[in-house]
Amino acid sequence: MATIFTSSPIPPPSSSASVNRISVLSSTKLHACPLSLSKKGASFSSNSCSLSLTRKQPRKSFQVRSVAAPVEETAGFDEMLSGTQRKYYLLGGKGGVGKTSCAASLAVKFANNGHPTLVVSTDPAHSLSDSFAQDLTGGTLVPVEGPLAPLYALEIDPDQAKAEFRNASKKNGGTGVKDFMDGMGLGLIAEQLGELKLGELLDTPPPGLDEAIAISKVIQFLELEEYNKFTRIVFDTAPTGHTLRLLSLPDFLDASIGKILKLRQKISSATSAIKSVFGQEGNQPDAADKLEKLRERMIKVRDLFRDTESTEFVIVTIPTVMAINESSRLRSSLKKENVPVKRLVVNQVLPPSASDCKFCAMKRKDQTRALDLIETDPELSTLTVVKAPLVDIEIRGIPALQFLGDMLWK
Element (H, E) at 384: strand 384-389
Sheet holding 384-389, edge to edge: 142-143, 151-155, 117-121, 232-236, 87-92, 311-317, 341-349, 384-389
Which amino acid is present at 12?
P
Give per-residue pLDDT as tens, 116-155: 999 998 877 778 999 999 998 888 899 998 888 899 999 8
Q: Do 345 and 312 touch, CB atoms closer than 8 A?
A: no
pTM: 0.70
**pLDDT at 270 (0 to 100):** 60
Residue 26 has pLDDT above 50, yes or no: no
Which residue of the set 123, 210, 236, 406 is catalytic?
Answer: 123
Phi/psi of residue 147, nearest 5 degrees: -65, 160
Element (H, E) at 315: strand 311-317
**pLDDT at 287 (0 to 100):** 61
CB atoms within 10 A of CB 9: 8
Instruction: Locate the DSSP E strands across 67-222.
Output: 87-92, 117-121, 142-143, 151-155, 170-171, 174-175
**pLDDT at 139 (0 to 100):** 81
Beta-bridge partner residues of 235? 90, 120
Q: Could you tell me the domains of the chain?
A: 1-72 (no CATH), 77-138+227-237+303-408 (3.40.50.300), 160-219+241-300 (no CATH)
Most confident among 38-47, 248-257, 376-385 (mean pLDDT): 376-385
Is 123 one of the annotated active-site residues of the chain? yes
- Cα separation, 41 vs 308, whole angstroms: 49
Question: Degrees (nearest 5) of the Cα angle 321, 349, 305?
Answer: 70
- Cα separation, 397 vs 400, whole angstroms: 6
Give per-residue pLDDT as tens, 360-379: 889 999 999 999 999 999 99
